[in-house]
Structure 1
Amino acid sequence: MTKMDDTLTMLKELTDAKGIAGNEREVRKVMEKYIAPFADEVTTDGLGSLIAKKAGNEDGPKIAVTGHLDEVGFMISQIDDKGFLRFQTVGGWWSQVMLAQRVTIATRKGDVTGVIGSKPPHILSADARKKPVDSKDMFIDIGASSREEAEEWGVRPGDMAVPYFEFTVMNNEKMLLAKAWDNRIGCAIAIDVLRQLQEIDHPNVVYGIGAVQEEVGLRGAKTSTFQIKPDIGFAVDVGIAGDTPGVTSKEALSKMGEGPQIVLYDASMVSHKGLRDLVTDTADELNIPYQYESMPGGGTDAGSIHLTANGVPALAITIATRYIHSHAAMLHRDDYENAVKLIVEVIKRLDRETVDRITFD
């Protein structure tokens, strides 16, 4: 069995925490526990995004490193007479990965275990077996016999239901399997960037942010960035790993373990060329591996960051991750550590002159 070092313990606590969009408090507490020792102050915006400030030069430019606290999950919408729970998806789900999966409903009386109900194949017609079930037709079974019993257990409409999966270090100990890598790995990167800046003089003020409600429209990144008005913004998130069977190089090029992804383009933003060049030049200089990525079908918090106030040069740096938006996703520890290293090295170079050149060239 793998010995849990401090980093793995932090990653386990971050991914085990429950927090869909609008219900991020538990995750925020974990992130605050780990980032506060390295921050001068920790505040929140009005929606609940965590903002940890670390000043190098108080007169220098402001740099935001933003992960998001929320994960994809479900919200209970009604309880039927027999005690089954109907739900609303929160964030993007492909219905085929949902059936027969275990979930945890967070109620005011404590956690309740449930499973997303499914029919056994024995009673399905040949045609029905070939068709994905629409999420609108699914339900969660918590073992209740009536609406009254479910309510006695504390279940109410509006409660969140979160995928259940235990953090696991694979036989290849670089491979880490967990729920909610999207985007607790971004929160971990923000924590570790501030941690590494403890020992380093940096010519700026750095903000490590855990934004809320990314999965429903990049919302917390908008409010937190507006609150601090940074000069430069990085979104740290997961990206698509293209190294599994059935995924073509046209769909996704990146491979786990070959470095963080520099996102050129996605549905929310065309990346800022000057900032992108600084990041890749720094990586080339220091032999930090990286990959290019474009995601025309998705976006990151950089989409909100770059549109704040008069505009903020921004870039998304992501970790190639398998099976995102499902109960269990996998990433490579080297990519995480290289992302932290790269962002720290770039921050060391972001003095006022460099930021002005990037912004006004």
Structure 2
Amino acid sequence: MQKLLEQLTGLHGPCGNEQPVSKWVRDRVTALVDEVRVDALGNVFATKKGTKPGPHAVITAHMDEVGFIAKKIEENGLIRFEKLGGNDDRLLLTQKVQLRTKKGFLTGVIGSISAHYAKFDDASKVRNHRQLYIDIGAKDKEHALELGVEVGTPITWKPNMEYLGNESTGRFVGKGFDDRAGCAVIIKLLEELDGVDFAGAVTAVFTVQEEVGLRGAQVAARQVDADVAIALDTTAVSDTPEETMDRSLALGAGTGIKVLDFSLISHPAVRDKLIQLADEQEIIYQKEIFPGIGTDGGAISLANEGIPTGVLSIPSRYAHSPVEVIDMKDLLATKELLKVFILSLEDGMKFLFIED
């Protein structure tokens, strides 16, 4: 799982510019499933058929990561940018970024004034991202153009996955865990389903543009006729000392079984089944109520005549930053509960809102 996660987070794929990730995922899962296709928006659909009749389950995770896009090249070679997804202006200064040009990758730095000038500045001021710039070392505008930068060049944090502390912690720090971690879980599940008897069919949907309004999932959801769906995404924990943290979700405490977020009230039958299986299999979990986020599950649940949908959340610290943190224990618990859920499906099983 670690190597898979390193490969996925090393890919460059901000919202609307996920081509390297879509291609990599498509190529990786082709040998693991019966059918693979990529739609016009970039969503990857991978269907694996079971050995006996049963429900059609959709599992989904998004491929895009928060990032930026080049907006203007100044005469001195510095680059103005816009956000792709929910970046916090407080986190931007002096961070390394990676620009993907037609000529290759460039390393850049989001600039800031020297500490020696701080005494002349307003220390409480948080500059809007439109006041900031990216320095790629270009001597002037012409040099930046020669390097391959143009209006529309996509930008992400510089790839940087490593252990937090050391290997004894089981925790990793890096960019793009939201939601390449979910993509890794699904790919690992498809590997583990190889040669295993299960009922029905599983369609893995790796979506685009989640961070700008669940756009890929809205399109993808209309293309599948599913009996049940499970979305995978990271979720922000609340176990650090800031006064806004309520310690309702913790890193290392297991997968999150979603109850509610701003995009979805989890279908009770799906939620209860996940809790039942986690209890029976002694898989560590925590119930999640967090209105501060939304997931592809919200879009999937509204498709067609409504799809019973639940969400498994991978706990994360410092979301939407270049130093997101996850615990491998939570990642493996998420994968194990998803696998148990898929293997529990049987012919005729329905997830009803009202039990007869």
TM over 0.5: yes
Q: After alignment, is 27-36 or 179-188 more displaced?
A: 27-36
User: Is 1:309 matched up with 2:304?
Assistant: yes
User: Is 1:281 matched up with 2:279?
Assistant: no
How many residue pairs match? The answer is 354
User: Is 1:318 matched up with 2:313?
Assistant: yes
Ranges of 4+ aligned residues in structure 1 off by more than 4 Å: 356-361
Which residue number in structure 2 is paired with residue 15 of structure 1? Answer: 9
User: Is 1:347 matched up with 2:348?
Assistant: no
Which residue number in structure 2 is paired with residue 84 of structure 1? Answer: 78
Q: After alignment, is 335-344 or 21-30 more displaced?
A: 21-30
Structure 1's 276 and 294: CA in aligned 2 closer, same or farther, altered over 3 A? same
- Tell me, in whole angstroms, the C-alpha distance in 1 between the residues paired with 2:345 and 2:268: 15
Residue 80 of structure 1 and its aligned partner are, at CA, apart by 1.3
Among residues 35, 41, 60, which one is paired with 1:41 in the alignment? 35
Among residues 130, 133, 158, which one is paired with 1:136 in the alignment? 130
Residue 82 of structure 1 and its aligned partner are, at CA, apart by 1.3
Q: How does 1:104-119 map to 2 (within 5 A)?
A: 104-119=98-113
Question: Helix, strand or coil for the counterpart of 2:314?
Answer: strand
Q: After alignment, is 107-116 or 217-226 more displaced?
A: 217-226
Which residue number in structure 1 is paired with residue 151 of structure 2? Answer: 157
Task: Tell whether the 8 Å contact from 1:104 to 1:114 is kept in structure 2 after alignment.
Answer: yes
Which residue number in structure 2 is paired with residue 220 of structure 1? Answer: 216
Residue 356 of structure 1 and its aligned partner are, at CA, apart by 5.0
Which residue number in structure 2 is paired with residue 60 of structure 1? Answer: 54
Q: How does 1:241-260 map to 2 (within 5 A)?
A: 241-246=237-242, 250=246, 252-260=247-255
Residue 257 of structure 1 and its aligned partner are, at CA, apart by 1.5
User: Is 1:330 matched up with 2:307?
Assistant: no
Q: After alignment, is 194-203 or 262-271 more displaced?
A: 194-203
Q: 1:130-173: CA deviations, max 9, x gaps?
A: 22121111111111122111111111111111101321023135
Q: After alignment, is 114-123 or 85-94 more displaced?
A: 114-123
Which residue number in structure 1 is paired with residue 258 of structure 2? Answer: 263
Which residue number in structure 2 is paired with residue 4 of structure 1? Answer: none
Task: Tell whether the 8 Å contact from 1:42 to 1:51 is kept in structure 2 after alignment.
Answer: yes
Matched letter for residue 34 of structure 1: R
- Tell me, in whole angstroms, the C-alpha distance in 1 between the residues paired with 2:52 and 2:75: 60
Residue 222 of structure 1 and its aligned partner are, at CA, apart by 1.5
Compute the TM-score of the two structures, normalised by the length of structure 1.
0.94
Q: 1:314-346: CA deviations, max 9, x gaps?
A: 111111101110011111111111111111111
Question: Helix, strand or coil for the counterpart of 2:199?
Answer: coil
Residue 125 of structure 1 and its aligned partner are, at CA, apart by 4.4
Q: How does 1:148-187 map to 2 (within 5 A)?
A: 148-170=142-164, 171=166, 172-187=168-183
Question: Helix, strand or coil for the counterpart of 1:325?
Answer: coil
Question: Helix, strand or coil for the counterpart of 2:349?
Answer: helix
- Tell me, in whole angstroms, the C-alpha distance in 2 between the residues paired with 1:70 and 1:94: 17
Task: Tell whether the 8 Å contact from 1:185 to 1:336 is kept in structure 2 after alignment.
Answer: yes
Structure 1's 59 and 359: CA in aligned 2 closer, same or farther, altered over 3 A? farther
User: Is 1:74 matched up with 2:74?
Assistant: no
Q: After alignment, is 337-346 or 27-36 more displaced?
A: 27-36
Structure 2, unmatched stretches of 5+, are: none
Residue 359 of structure 1 and its aligned partner are, at CA, apart by 7.8
CA RMSD of aligned residues (A): 1.7
- Tell me, in whole angstroms, the C-alpha distance in 1 between the residues paired with 2:151 and 2:137: 17
- Tell me, in whole angstroms, the C-alpha distance in 1 between the residues paired with 2:273 and 2:39: 30
Structure 1's 54 and 329: CA in aligned 2 closer, same or farther, altered over 3 A? same
Question: Helix, strand or coil for the counterpart of 1:355?
Answer: coil
Question: Helix, strand or coil for the counterpart of 1:270?
Answer: coil
- Tell me, in whole angstroms, the C-alpha distance in 2 between the residues paired with 1:153 and 1:128: 35
Task: Tell whether the 8 Å contact from 1:190 to 1:209 is kept in structure 2 after alignment.
Answer: no
- Tell me, in whole angstroms, the C-alpha distance in 1 between the residues paired with 2:290 and 2:161: 27
- Tell me, in whole angstroms, the C-alpha distance in 1 between the residues paired with 2:40 and 2:225: 15
Task: Work out the percentage of aligned pairs sharing the same amino acid.
Answer: 35
Task: Tell whether the 8 Å contact from 2:239 to 2:251 is kept in structure 1 after alignment.
Answer: yes
User: Is 1:290 matched up with 2:285?
Assistant: yes
Residue 351 of structure 1 and its aligned partner are, at CA, apart by 2.3
- Tell me, in whole angstroms, the C-alpha distance in 2 between the residues paired with 1:310 and 1:46: 23
Residue 102 of structure 1 and its aligned partner are, at CA, apart by 0.6
Among residues 99, 112, 121, which one is paired with 2:115 in the alignment? 121
User: Is 1:208 matched up with 2:195?
Assistant: no
Q: 1:96-144: CA deviations, max 9, x gaps?
A: 1110001111000111111101012322346611221211111111111
Question: Helix, strand or coil for the counterpart of 1:312?
Answer: coil
Task: Tell whether the 8 Å contact from 1:256 to 1:335 is kept in structure 2 after alignment.
Answer: yes
